[in-house]
Structure 1
Amino acid sequence: MPYNGKFKSTCSNISKKSKWKNPMKFHTKIRDCFELESFSKNLLPGAVAAMLLTPGAAMAIPSYTITDIGQWQPVAINDVGQIAGNVFDLATSQQRAALWSNGEITPLGPSDVTYSVATDINIFGQVVGTSQIPMGTQGTPWRAVKYTGASVVDLGAVDGGNSSEAAGINNSGQVVGRTTGYINIGGNSFFTPNVAFLHSNGVLNALGEQIGLLQSAAIGINDNGQIAGNDYGSGNAFLYDSLTAATKFIPSLPGDTTNYALAINNSGQVIGHSYNNLGYLLHSYLYDGTSTIDISPPGTYVLQAFSINDQSQIVGYGDVTGEDVGRKTGLFLYENGNMKFWDELIPEGSGWNLSAATGTFDINNNGQIVGVGNYGSEQRGFLLTPVDAPPATDIQYININSNGVISGESFNPAYPTVVVTHGWQYGVALGQDPLSQSFPLADVSQAVAARAIHDDQPLNLITYQWAGAYTDTFVEYNTAAIGVSEAGLILGRELNSLFNGAGYTGGVHMIGHSLGASASSAGYRPVHYP
């Protein structure tokens, strides 16, 4: 894969959060990237401070800047600022899942796919959704899929089923959704079009069968393995703990008969909507583990919450008529019992109108919000960012190729340094899921970058692409192994050039996969500091 200054593929897991302001602590902690620990409950404490206000107090929601991110449909944003969504090509009538990163939209999956949908994204840029299987073939089953960089993985279906849809993914790569297939309940086998599933460690499990639900769907999973979903039989949402196998059913709001969950955060709070069988007055609720709270203000006709972050900020669509403000419609932000609509959040005269915003909205732990709104006569994707958002962590992306050519950004001698080297059959590895045995160069690099971003640790991130000279899809292993020593010498020479030229004395952490570990070792031996 040509180096472009950023890495779009991802690693599958990362360890618990800790500060690495000390470079030596950083080198110690970076090893944890590849230990399968659960993600920290609060990924960015302090990044967006929760507003500690007493009920009824005035809420100081920060003002937002609004950014045009193109004519497409953004649906989810992670804490690194990558956005999953969908693009539509009028010329070919194709709709494809896509990833927005650093101002660029990249369609995901094979180019001949006729129709695919993105629904969620995790911190590593792994996107889940639904696509036709086989890819690009009309009239074939829909399958839940996971996109990781250049690869796409079919998550399958339960026994006897041929279709599935993915709804959510957590930072451990676990995926939830619904599937068709046969399930066994009370000793009897039933075929159902709606079975909640959990895909974990490469296996798709019929979650609906485990809970005993004939018609169900899972809509979200947090980093603690708690899953929110819906029981279509009873018309109630549920909260399932995949670690304890305990299930709670979420009660509807007083006077209502039906409720459905739409999102869950890392505290186990669930949001959804509640209504009666007559379909009147769609209200949104917040379930805190014990009670269901109506977050809809007086005068609500429709209030549909779509997303909740770890600071309990909620975004959604509303149609509300109040005595003091008249009718308000469109995007809302709710926090600590207070609600503001879009026109109170973005600058006046921006040219944007979010009163008839369509689709869904999402909010990350930095308070950034994505969705679709009207700009002039066009519907376009937008990104709202709090004006007091913290600055982005500085990561210097640098690449060294097999000829010893250095490209990318500038080396900073004040930052700790990590060097990542790929293994044999580099080309094949790029097409594999990082949950497999082979970790591609970009996948590991993205994991390192994600860790640094979460801990606000500036970093020199150097990738060594020795493919082409000694490794390739069609180069035999023995041939590649013979070239390891020379490849290492090239790496060591260029590291010396960087370190000595900048007066760097901070040490270096080497990560290599397969033969890349040998190349990294050979590359480190000749390294000497000024």
Structure 2
Amino acid sequence: MERHILEGEKMRPSRFLTTAVIATLAVAAGPTTAAHATTAPTTPQDVGTLGGAWSNPTALSDSGYLVGSSETTSGATHAFRWRNGHLTDLGTLPGGGPSYAADVNERGDVAGTAFTAAGTARPFLWRRGVLRDLTAVTGDGISVTGLNDHGRVIGTRYTATSGQYGQAFVWRDGVATDLPGLGGDTLADDINSRGDIAGSTISADGAETEAALWRDGRLIRLTPPVGIASIGVDVNERGQVVGTVRVPDSGWHAFLWENGVFTDLGALGGTESYPVGINDRGQVGGNAGDNSNLRAVRWHRGTATDLAALSGVSGLATAMNAAGNVAGVADLGGRHGVVWRGAGVVDLGPLDRGATGGSVQFINDRGLVAGTLAVTGEGAHAVVWDIGRR
């Protein structure tokens, strides 16, 4: 049976679709004038590696912790944590295989997946220098997707009888609890500080996929008024959930759910839109338009702002922070990392070096932006740009 465990990646099926669209269309975004762009205040800082050729980030906290995975001197893959220039190897399980960080909280705890010597994926929580197997979570394999500030870990576990995607779980204080669903697979995608979990649930016959919010262990179905399928992506501290809904005679549309109200955010007059996140103001960042011409957008209180029209620079969003600043990529005489801030754009510089493409993946509330850039003679390294808080 096929399992959707991806080494070194958060198993976020809702974001696979968005990521695939961005990867396909990043170069397709038409060139724009750089007249509105400003120069990045600092050059990117190379996070480095654990001795090998590459490193890749997977999460960034507002307190400045960046986590991911890196090749070691021996060629193995280990999870890492970085902050203020200090890179830490999180190690592996005793006698085990590779480890991959999935998420980090504000105090620097890290959750992820580590493989045993036999090749079985196990969930871990790294805290104060100790990588701990979350033994209460059982199954043939585990994929971790999130961690909150109270140490709750979410993910999906797989058994001989589970379906293609498996059973979502939450681990807290040594106890693992399965999340209820519609009788089929369940997928946990994001968790906030109070323990609300956003994700999706699938019917027993596999015919229905519906966005879900779990609160205090109870399933809240985020049933769209119109739509073939819906998928939960992200939840903020107010319990607002964003995701995508498959709209008849159109495509996937971003949606916002709040207190039982399900709102289709539209597609800037096109057929497709995809969220990349929601902040605590209720602002939603994402991409919208036609499938061959998506562009960055920010939604707030029912209003969609086309960031290309606002700033004069068209591109694709990949992340958003608490201030509503949107990070992504744009064509500024080549593929550049950018941050739409206010009515302008901060140019992070070119992402592509030779045949190797870089990325912009995260932006936090302090103005740190994280992604990857190629290094001559090596693979891509995780990097951090500091554009300041604003």
TM-score by length of structure 2 reads: 0.65
Match of 2:58 among 71, 75, 85: 75
* Distance of 2:325 and 2:225 partners within structure 1: 19
1:101 Cα deviation from its structure 2 partner: 1.3
2:85 is aligned to 103
Provide the rounded CA distance (Å) in 1 between the counterparts of 2:373 and 2:284.
18
Equivalent runs, 1:241-390 vs 2, <5 Å: 241-242=215-216, 245-252=217-224, 254=226, 256-275=227-246, 281-289=251-259, 290-294=261-265, 296-299=267-270, 303-314=273-284, 320=294, 328-329=315-316, 331=318, 333=320, 342=329, 343=338, 345=340, 347-348=346-347, 350-352=349-351, 358=359, 361-366=361-366, 368-372=368-372, 379-389=380-390
Alignment of 1:456-467 (within 5 A): none
**Separation in 1, partners of 2:55, 2:112:** 16
CA deviations on 1:21-62 (whole Å, 9 max, x unpaired) are: xxxxxxxxxxxxxxxxxxxxxxxxxxxxxxxxxxxxxxxx99
Instruction: Please give the alpha-carbon distance, in whole angstroms, between the structure 1 residues aligned to 2:280 and 2:369.
Output: 14
Structure 2, gaps ≥5 residues long: 1-36, 48-53, 296-305, 330-337
Cα gap change, 1:310/1:62 in structure 2, threshold over 3 Å: closer, same or farther? farther
Which consecutive unaligned segments of at least 5 residues does structure 1 have?
A: 1-60, 183-189, 390-530
Secondary structure at 1:297 match in 2: coil
State the distance in 2 between where 1:297 and 1:222 align: 29
Secondary structure of the residue that 1:291 maps to in structure 2?
A: strand
The alpha-carbon deviation at position 199 of structure 1 amounts to 0.6
For 1:72 and 1:317, how far apart are their aligned partners in 2? Answer: 27
Change (3 A) 1:381 1:315: farther
- TM-superposed deviation, 1:204: 0.7
The Cα shift of 1:231 comes to 0.8
- CA displacement, residues 488-523 of structure 1 (integer Å, 9 cap, x when unaligned): xxxxxxxxxxxxxxxxxxxxxxxxxxxxxxxxxxxx
CA distance in 1, matches of 2:325, 2:88: 37
- 1:144 equivalenced with 2:118 (yes/no): no
> Which residue is 2:16 aligned to?
none
- Once residues 316 and 383 of structure 1 are traced to their aligned partners in structure 2, the CA distance between those partners, rounded to angstroms, is 21
| 1:154 corresponds to | 133
Residue 28 of structure 2: aligned partner: none
Instruction: Give the superposition deviation at 1:119.
Output: 1.2
Aligned residue in 1 for 2:112:
129
Is the strand fraction higher in 1 or 2?
Answer: 2
TM-score, structure 1 normalization: 0.49
- Letter of the aligned partner of 1:372 in structure 2? T
- Structure number with the higher helix fraction is 1
**Could you tell me which of 174, 186, 204 is aligned with 1:216?**
186
Report deviation, 1:232.
3.1
SS at match of 1:232: strand
Between structure 1 and structure 2, the one with the greater Rg is 1
Q: How many residues align?
A: 309
Q: Distance in 2 between matches of 1:327 and 1:253?
A: 32
C-alpha displacement of 1:110 = 3.2
The one-letter code matched in structure 1 to 2:77 is Q
In the TM superposition, what whole-angstrom CA distance separates every residue of 1:453-498 from its partner, at most 9, and x where no partner exists? Answer: xxxxxxxxxxxxxxxxxxxxxxxxxxxxxxxxxxxxxxxxxxxxxx
CA distance in 2: counterparts of 1:122 and 1:248, whole angstroms: 25
Q: In the alignment, residue 228 of structure 1 is paired with which amino acid?
A: A
Matches of 2:98 and 2:241 in 1, distance apart? 30
Which deviations, in whole Å up to 9, do the C-alpha atoms of 1:177-212 show, x marking residues without a partner? 111248xxxxxxx6556111111121111123xx45
Following TM superposition, by how much is the alpha carbon of 1:120 offset from its aligned partner in structure 2, in angstroms?
0.8
Alignment match, 2:6: none
Does 1:226 find its partner at 2:225? Answer: no
1:88 alignment partner in structure 2:
71
Q: Measured at CA, do residues 110 and 272 of structure 1 come closer, stay the same or move farther in structure 2, by a change above 3 Å?
A: same
User: Does the 8 Å contact 2:320/2:362 carry over to 1?
Assistant: no
C-alpha distance in 2 between matches for 1:326 and 1:281: 25
Query: Is 2:92–2:98's contact at 8 Å kept on the other side of the alignment?
Result: no
Q: Is 2:107–2:149's contact at 8 Å kept on the other side of the alignment?
A: yes
Report if the CA contact (8 A) 2:339-2:348 is conserved. no
Residue in 2 that maps onto 1:174: 152
Match status 1:197 vs 2:169: yes
Name the amino acid aligned to 2:158. Answer: T
Relative distance call for 1:299 and 1:344 in structure 2 (3 A) is farther
Q: Distance in 2 between matches of 1:92 and 1:173?
A: 31
> Which amino acid is the alignment partner of residue 55 of structure 2?
W
* Letter in structure 2 aligned against 1:292: T
CA–CA distance in structure 1, aligned partners of residues 367 and 256 of structure 2:
18
SS in 2 for 1:229: strand
Aligned-residue Cα RMSD (Å) equals: 4.1
| Residue in structure 1 matching 2:209, options 231, 235, 260 | 235
